[in-house]
Amino acid sequence: ALVRRVTCADGSVTSNAACCALFPVIQDLQTNLFDGGECGEEVHESLRLTFHDAIGISPAIASRGQFGGGGADGSIALFEDIETNFHANNGVDEIIDEQRPLIQRHNLTTADFIQLAGAIGVSNCPGAPRLAVFVGRPDATQPAPDLTVPEPFDTVDSILQRFDDAGGFTPAEVVALLGSHTIAAADHVDPSIPGTPFDSTPELFDTQFFIETQLRGTLFPGTGGNQGEVESPLRGELRLQSDSELARDSRTACEWQSFVNNQAKLQSAFAAAFRKMTILGHDESSLIDCSDVVPTPPAPASSAHLPAGLTHNDVEQACASTPFPTLPTDPGPATTVAPVPPS
Ligand code: HEM
Ligand SMILES: [Ca+2]
Ligand SMILES: [Mn+2]
């Protein structure tokens, strides 16, 4: 195929002149939102926001004659007053408010900006794939309906059904999308311990999330009894009920386990599923592919391991057909996971 090359006014090279406008936005994001290129809290929150905006679409609701939402249409920020009151969106107001001044100083739709910020943010995380970036999404004129964003206390049935309705995502694609929880922490599931990560390496886009969610839960990192939380295997680590169940359900367990120590699969499957998610509500042919503006992420900085203090005996085998891979245990005293520092 013919690959076009355009040289922008600032000397950057890309495949389409319409993508030139993104370079100053990327610089602004890195300098003023992502603390100079970190994989920290604002990156994690920006990635979560791409999902909470994009998943706001339901052909099932639309088929009943109501507005089903526009997908990746910026509605979560444009109708912040409405959508951030939806229970599942607890906490996303923070990153919406941090992104707003940047949106105001550039000439992108809010819809495009939210997805761009997620893709650029993830490129700061060692081990991440390069994610797709598209421009040309029109902005929302109506808020998404409530209950389109899955909750951590939802059943596997309901979660798989929601993703299928939103965009025809297969169970395997749902598992791949949950690779996002490798760079993630919860502020609101247990409000007594904000910034509690889902794996021991929230600054690395590695496969530890898929390993650690398969270990037997033995403790609550803070208080017990929170809705959507189950016991985790490590002090300082929080496990969502939904992640726990998806790791153990017969429909998803083997796919979940397949990511253990398979960085290449994590990268390609997450990138493919994200690409599909990022254009929900739009026809790809109406958008411009600007993916070549995304920086190449740093190489993986960790190798798959069992956290110190735990062994293969702590694995709760869930995949019936394939044994859990043999992994080395980190040396030293039992791992305690540090919170993600607030910015
Ligand atoms: C079954 C589907 C999902 C459920 C139930 C779920 C639930 C949650 C919950 C409860 C939190 C913690 C929020 C807080 O208390 O601060 C969270 C965080 C997060 N989620 Fe998900 N999630 C799902 C899928 C996804 C997907 C598809 C993505 C992105 C592609 C994503 C990206 C993130 C990220 C990056 C964070 C961390 C935010 C931060 O550290 O500030 N999640 N998720
Ligand atoms: Ca990680
Ligand atoms: Mn939306």
ipTM for the predicted complex: 0.99
| Residue 302: predicted pLDDT | 84
Catalytic residue check, 52: yes
Query: Across the chain, how many H-helices and E-strands are there?
Result: 13, 8
For residues 302 and 261, give the distance between their C-alpha atoms in angstroms, rounded to a whole number: 10
| Residue 1: predicted pLDDT | 62
Which residue of 34, 43, 48, 223 sits with most ligand 1 atoms within 8 Å of its CB, as the best mutation to test the pocket? 48
Which residue of 180, 243, 256, 340 sits with most ligand 1 atoms within 8 Å of its CB, as the best mutation to test the pocket? 180
Average pLDDT per 10 consecutive residues for the chain, totaling 343 residues: 86 96 98 98 98 99 98 98 98 98 98 99 98 98 98 98 99 99 98 98 98 98 97 98 99 98 98 99 98 97 95 98 97 97 88
Task: Please tell me the number of the ligand nearest to residue 282's CA.
Answer: 3
The single-letter code of the amino acid at 228 is: G
| Residue 343: predicted pLDDT | 80
206 marked as part of a ligand binding site? yes
15 alpha carbon – ligand 1 mean position (Å): 32
Task: Please tell me the number of the ligand nearest to residue 110's CA.
Answer: 3
Q: Where are the beta strands (DSSP E) in 131-285?
A: 134-135, 185-186, 196-197, 229-230, 239-240
Task: Please tell me the number of the ligand nearest to residue 149's CA.
Answer: 1
Which residue of 181, 189, 242, 267 sits with most ligand 1 atoms within 8 Å of its CB, as the best mutation to test the pocket? 181
219 φ, ψ (degrees, to nearest 5): -155, 160
50 alpha carbon – ligand 3 mean position (Å): 9
71 marked as part of a ligand binding site? yes
Instruction: Point out the ligand 1 atom lying closest to the alpha carbon of residue 177.
Output: 27
| Residue 121: predicted pLDDT | 99
309 alpha carbon – ligand 2 mean position (Å): 18
| Residue 332: predicted pLDDT | 95
39 alpha carbon – ligand 2 mean position (Å): 11
Instruction: Point out the ligand 1 atom lying closest to the alpha carbon of residue 189.
Output: 15
Give buried/exposed letters for 290-303 (b at 16+ CB in 10 A, else e).
bbebbeebbebebe
For residues 37 and 44, give the distance between their C-alpha atoms in angstroms, rounded to a whole number: 13
* For ion ligand 3, residues whose CB falls within 5 Å: 53, 56, 73, 75, 144
Give buried/exposed letters for 18-31 (b at 16+ CB in 10 A, else e).
ebbbbbebbeebbe
3-state SS of 175-193 is HHHHHHHHHCEECCCCCCC
Cβ–ligand 1 distance for 152 under 6 Å, the answer yes
| Tens-place pLDDT, residues 4-14 | 899 999 999 99
CA-atom Rg of the chain in angstroms: 20
The single-letter code of the amino acid at 138 is: P
